[in-house]
Amino acid sequence: MKAQSALALWPPAASATAVETDHIILGFTVLTLLLTVPVFLAITYFALRYRQGEQADRSTDERRSFLIEISWMLIPYVLTLFFFGWGAKLFIASRHPPPDAMVVEAVGRQWMWKFQHPTGQSEINDLHLPVDQPVRIRITSQDVIHALYLPALRLQIAALPDRTTEIWFKADRTGTYRLYCSEYCGTDHSVMDGNLTLMTQAEYQEWLTHGGAQQSNLAAGRVIYESYGCAGCHDGAVVGVKAPSLVGLYGRPVHLADGRTLTADADYIRAKILNPNENRLAGDGEGEGGGQGGGKGSGKGGYKQVMPSFRGVIPADDLDRLVGYLKAYDRVAEGAPR
C-alpha cells in the first residue's frame, strides 16, 4: 500500500498540525531564499563584473561599514526569530495532549513495534487509528533506544528503555501512511517499519470489533518469531546450537526422551515455549540422537537442551500470534519476510 508515487516531492499531511508544519517550512524557505539568493547573485555578478582587467569603478567608501555590519547581523536574525517562535509554539502544543485523548501504548524492541489499543487489541508494526480524535501514544522500549516516526503527522518521539515518552496528535485525513523507527537500533533498524492506517470513527469501531482481523497474523507472527530470537537458533543461524527446525512441526509426532510420543499440537508448542525443560526430546543429553519431524539429523551423542524459558518474557497475545505462525510454518514459503 504505497502512500505516494515515486516522483512525489512532498509527503502527505494527515493532520492540521502537519499542514501547519509545512507552512512553517515553506515560510522559512521563502525567508531563506530572500536572505541567500541575493548573496549568490551578488557573488556571481561581482565575479564577472569586477574581473581583473575589467574597467569598473572600484572606489570604496569605508564610512558606513559599521552600520552595514550591524544591520546584516541583526535584521536577518530578528526575521528568523519569527520562525523560532512559530515552531516553538507548535512544538509545545504537541507536548500537551487534551484530556479526552485516547491512549495507545507502544512498545519498541529489536526489531518490531507493538501497539496496544485502549480496548485491549494489540497490533504488530501496524497501527490503525481513527481520525478527528485526539490520540496520545505512550511509548517505551524493551531494549535499546528506538524512535517512532510518523512522517504524515510530522512527528517522532524516542522510545527509551525503562521510561515512557509520549506524543499526541489529531489526524484529519484517512489513508494509509508509513510508520518507521527513526533511531538507529541495530541490524534490522530499517525493517522495523509498518503502516499507519487512519480511518473514520465508524470504520475504527468496526475494526476493533473484529479483533484487528485486518492484520495478517502470519506476518505479525513471523515478526515475533524473529524478534524474540526464535529464528536465530531454529533457523540455524547460531553456530554450535542444534535447535531443531520448526518447519512442518505442527501436527507431526514428536519423540520424547522418556519414550513417549506426542503430537505437536498448539498446546504442546505453547508449553514448550514457556517451559522447554518439560517434555524433553529424545536425543537430549547423552542419548543417541533422534531427530524429530524435519529436524536436524541425529548425530552421535545427541544434543543438550539449552533453549531458555519464555515464561514472563513473551506476553500472552504475542504468544498466540507466535503459535498461530508456527501452525502454518510449513505452508509459509522459505525466505519469509525479513
Partner 1 sequence: MSSAGTLHGDAAARDPHTPLPTLDRPDDYLHAQSTLRSWFLTTDHKRIALLYLASITAFFVIGAVAAGFVRLALVVPDGAIMTNDTYNKAFTIHGVVMVWFFLIPSIPATFGNFLIPLMIGAKDLAFPKLNLTSWYIFMTGALFTLVAVVLGGVDTGWTFYAPLSTAFSNTWVLPALIGVTIVGFSSILTGLNFVVTIHTMRAPGMTWFRLPIFVWTHYATSLIFLLATPVITLALILLIAERAFHVGVFDPAYGGDPVLFQHLFWFYSHPAVYIMVLPGMGVISEIVPAFAQKKLFGYRFVAYAAIGLASVTFFVWGHHMFVNGQSDLASLAFSALSFAVAVPSAVKVYNWTATIHKGSLRLDTPMLYAMGYIGLFVLGGLTGLYLATLAINQHIHATYFVVAHFHYIMVGGTVLAFLGGLHFWWPKITGRMYSEPWGRISALFIFIGFNVTFFPQFILGYLGMPRRYATYPPEFQLLNVLSSAGSTILAAGYLFPMVYLVYSLWFGRRASANPWDAKGLEWETASPPPPHNFAGVPQVPKVPYDYPIQAPETGSHHT
Near partner 1 in 185-204, by CB under 8 A: 185-191, 193
Helix (H) or strand (E) holding 66: helix 65-94
Helix, coil or strand: residue 169: strand
CB-nearer residue toward partner 1: 50 or 306:
50
Tell me 280's DSSP state. P
Asked if 151 and 191 touch (Cβ cutoff 8 Å), the reply is no
Q: Which three cell numbers stand for residue 71?
A: 544591520
Regarding 290 and contact with partner 1 (CB under 8 A), the answer is no
Query: Which of the residues 90 through 109 are near partner 1 (CB under 8 A)?
Result: 90-92, 94-95
CA 193, CA 171: separation in Å to the nearest integer?
20
Choose, by CB under 8 A, the member of 81, 262, 271, 328 that binds partner 1: 81
Total residues in contact with partner 1, by rule CB under 8 A: 87
CA end-to-end span of the chain: 18
Per-residue binding letters, 121-160, with partner 1 (x by CB under 8 A):
----------------------xxx-x-x-xx-xxxxx-x
- When the beta carbons of 73 and 213 are compared against partner 1, the nearer one is 73
Distances 328 to 14, 180, 250, 290, 320 between C-alpha atoms, Å: 37, 28, 8, 24, 13
Q: Which candidate, 265, 260, 267, places its Cα nearest to that of 282?
A: 260
- Binding to partner 1 by residue 88, rule CB under 8 A? yes
Among 16, 34, 73, 328, which residue interacts with partner 1 (rule: CB under 8 A)?
Answer: 73
Q: Which is nearer to partner 1, 50 or 277 (CB)?
A: 50
Among positions 118, 161, 301, 308, the unique one binding partner 1 when judged by CB under 8 A: 161
- The residues that bridge with 178 in the sheet, in sequence order, are 195
- Chosen residue from 19, 30, 77, 205 binding partner 1 by CB under 8 A: 77
For residue 300, state whether it binds partner 1 (rule: CB under 8 A): no
One residue of 19, 34, 36, 260 binding partner 1 per CB under 8 A = 36
The span of 17-25, 250-258, 262-270, 300-308 binding partner 1 (CB under 8 A) equals 17-25
Least distance between partner 1 and beta carbon 70 (Å): 9
H-helix segments, 177-287: 201-209, 217-227, 230-234, 266-274
Is residue 65 at the binding interface for partner 1, with CB under 8 A as the rule?
yes
Q: Tell me which of 19, 30, 80, 288 binds partner 1, using CB under 8 A.
A: 80
Residue among 16, 34, 42, 237 that touches partner 1 (CB under 8 A) = 42
Q: 73-93 b/e with 16+ CB inside 10 Å = b? A: eeeeeeeeeeeeebeeeeeee
Helix, strand, or coil here: 323? helix
Residue 73 CB, nearest distance to partner 1 (Å)?
Answer: 6
Toward partner 1, which CB reaches closer, 122 or 227?
A: 227
Q: Which three cell numbers mark 313?
A: 518474557
Q: How far apart are CA 120 and CA 103, in angstroms?
A: 11
In this chain, which stretch among 56-64, 119-127, 257-265, 324-332 interacts with partner 1, using CB under 8 A? Answer: 56-64
CB of 150 to partner 1, least distance (A): 9
Q: Is 239 in the site for partner 1 (CB under 8 A)?
A: no
Nearer to partner 1, 7 or 316 (CB): 7
Edge-to-edge order in the sheet of strand 175-181: 127-130, 194-199, 175-181, 146-150, 155-159
Q: d(Cα 107, Cα 327) in Å, to the nearest integer?
A: 26
Q: Does 16 bind partner 1 (CB under 8 A)?
A: no
